Amino acid sequence: MESLQGLLVGFQEALTVWNIIYCIIGVSMGMFVGVLPGLGPVAGTALLIPITFGMEPVSAIIMLAGIYYGSMYGGTITSVLINTPGESASVITCIDGHQLAKQGRGGTALGVAAIGSFVGGIVAVLGLTFLGPPLARFALKFGPPEYFALMLLGLLLIVGLMGKSITRGLIAALFGLLLALIGMDPISGEIRFTFGQMNLIEGIDFVIVAMGLFGISEILLNAENKMKMDKPAKVQGMLPRRDEWKPTMKSVGRGTGIGMLIGLIPGAGATISSLISYSIEKKMAKDPSRFGKGAIEGVAGPETANNAHSGAALIPLFTLGIPSSPTIAVLLGAFMMHGLAPGPALFQNNPNFVWGIIASMFIGNFILLIFNLPLAGFWARIALVPYKLLFPLILILTMVGTYSINNSLWDVGLMLLFGVVGYIMKKLDIPAAVTVLTFVLGGQIESSFLQSLASSTDGFLIFFMRPISGTLIAIGLLLLVFSTLNGFKKKKNLIEGDFEV
């Protein structure tokens, strides 16, 4: 009953004229970001944060959240019609989705994807509605040691699951933590790592780091690759045949469960949900040979999974303040910029805000269903805009947005510098996403750590003497050891394989 009452309050907030407009703008921008190959939800959300300055917090997050889950829909369209995934979670959709398009059934593939995405998204938001409040109440029992241990576990999960090398993951994590240390110490007030530069006394703005490492670096990479795309296939017949409804809905059900479960795990991106869903659908099929040749289950399952994942990933953010993916880390930074601290107290201190965001996600998913079916051909044609026209425009808007944060050219120069750093990191296969995650959480981790030590009479033992924090740290250390050993094993096998050749 508490959740239903909160949801009714949320709909009163979300159904105001301006919030509906911001929701439509957000999902439209998300669709636009999703259909542009190479940009993706992380870079797109980071690049568009500056336009929320001056907006009410609930309106700003409604729009940014719309960009996040809207981009998941958008990436499907180009995957099916022109065999070019707009973002990584849609890569798996190319396998069977484009084959269906070649057979003249591109509309069916998009229709199934839209239905599955809608079901997965709605179920995930229902999960946030009913699981969020009890989980937040439980987390209110956490003190600084438990909160530190929880964030440490989240970071170790992310480092362990992202990238091909645990070493590169740790390098990226340490880089992010070092960036978080720049500026004023939160406890003592000491100025550190500014090298006498007055612009760094308050630290580095999150938007500058995110827009540089994700947005500018993606522009540089795509300008280098000069990606080319085919003409989109025709869209007709949006619904599956009568005999296809039963297997399709079974795939949608399995994809929803997979996306929900994996979305709760920090570091396990929507791509993992899609891959696992596709693998399960293929194993459960009566005729696995159909996969790769236009199996409708190969579209329904993965597309449902990645949209259920995007909704479920918001549960740790709202209840614990832990970002479970790079895009969620960008949203966390946006929360902080608007004076809000996601975590256990959010449901208690800002109920109208929380329930307004949740209600807007129901509305946004309905809007996306409408946008997805009749306008699929229009969105696919947007992807054909030449990069030589598109990227300079994005770069100019990015620089103007960065300048508007503090009216400072220093910020613009710093963002461009981070863009070059992000480009180099991607070339060296160092996960920039880990850097942003540790940068966002760095200040909170440091504060929790120092508060724990200040209240402890046993020094560092406080983290191990309390049951919850001790268990979380033990799990994190085991994960780190396992990831390291697994990395060494893969490296050894690679060396042995090269030697044999």
Residues forming a β-bridge with 192: 183
| pTM, to two decimals | 0.70
Residue 348 confidence (pLDDT) above 90: no
Which has the higher per-residue pLDDT, 479 or 296? 296
Measured in whole angstroms, the distance separating CA 150 from the mean position of its chain's CA atoms is 19
Assess if residue 168 is contained within a domain: no
What are 381-431's pLDDT values in tens digits?
A: 665 666 677 778 778 877 877 777 677 889 889 989 999 998 999 888 888
Which has the higher per-residue pLDDT, 203 or 264? 203
Residue 501 confidence (pLDDT) above 50: no
Residues 6+ apart with CB under 8 A from 138: none
Assess if residue 414 is contained within a domain: no
With the C-alpha atoms ordered 54, 58, 61, 66, is the resulting torsion angle positive or negative? negative
Assess if residue 322 is contained within a domain: yes
What are 163-182's pLDDT values in tens digits?
A: 557 778 788 888 988 998 89
Assess if residue 21 is contained within a domain: yes
pLDDT of residue 492: 62
Measured in whole angstroms, the distance separating CA 120 from the mean position of its chain's CA atoms is 16
Identify the domain containing residue 297 by its residue range. 1-145+228-408
With the C-alpha atoms ordered 22, 27, 29, 33, is the resulting torsion angle positive or negative? positive
Structure tokens given for 413:
């120069």
DSSP state of 176: H
pLDDT of residue 385: 67
Residue range 346-350: average pLDDT? 80
Assess if residue 481 is contained within a domain: no
Q: How far apart are CA 114 and CA 259, in angstroms?
A: 16
For 192, list phi and psi in degrees, rounded to 5: -140, 145
- Pure H helices in 36-165: 40-48, 57-81, 91-102, 106-139, 144-161
Is residue 343 within 8 A of residue 153, CB to CB? The reply is no
Closest CA to 214 of 343, 313, 357, 88: 88
Residues in the chain: 501
| Res. 221 pLDDT band, cuts 50 70 90 | confident
Domain count, the chain: 1
What are 58-110's pLDDT values in tens digits?
A: 898 899 888 888 877 777 777 777 666 656 666 677 778 878 887 877 778 88
Assess if residue 427 is contained within a domain: no
Assess if residue 175 is contained within a domain: no
In 288-299, which positions are buried (b, 16+ CB within 10 angstroms) versus exposed (e)? eebbeebbbbbb
For 233, list phi and psi in degrees, rounded to 5: -70, 160
| Res. 191 pLDDT band, cuts 50 70 90 | confident
Residue 436 confidence (pLDDT) above 80: no
Residue 203 confidence (pLDDT) above 80: yes
Q: Is 181 helix (H, G, I), strand (E, B) or coil?
A: helix
pLDDT of residue 499: 45
Assess if residue 438 is contained within a domain: no
Q: How far apart are CA 10 and CA 5, in angstroms?
A: 9
Residues forming a β-bridge with 183: 192
- Average pLDDT over the chain, rounded to whole? 79
Tell me the percentage of the chain whose pLDDT exceeds 70: 82
Residue 490 CA: distances (Å) to CA of 165, 175, 184:
10, 25, 42
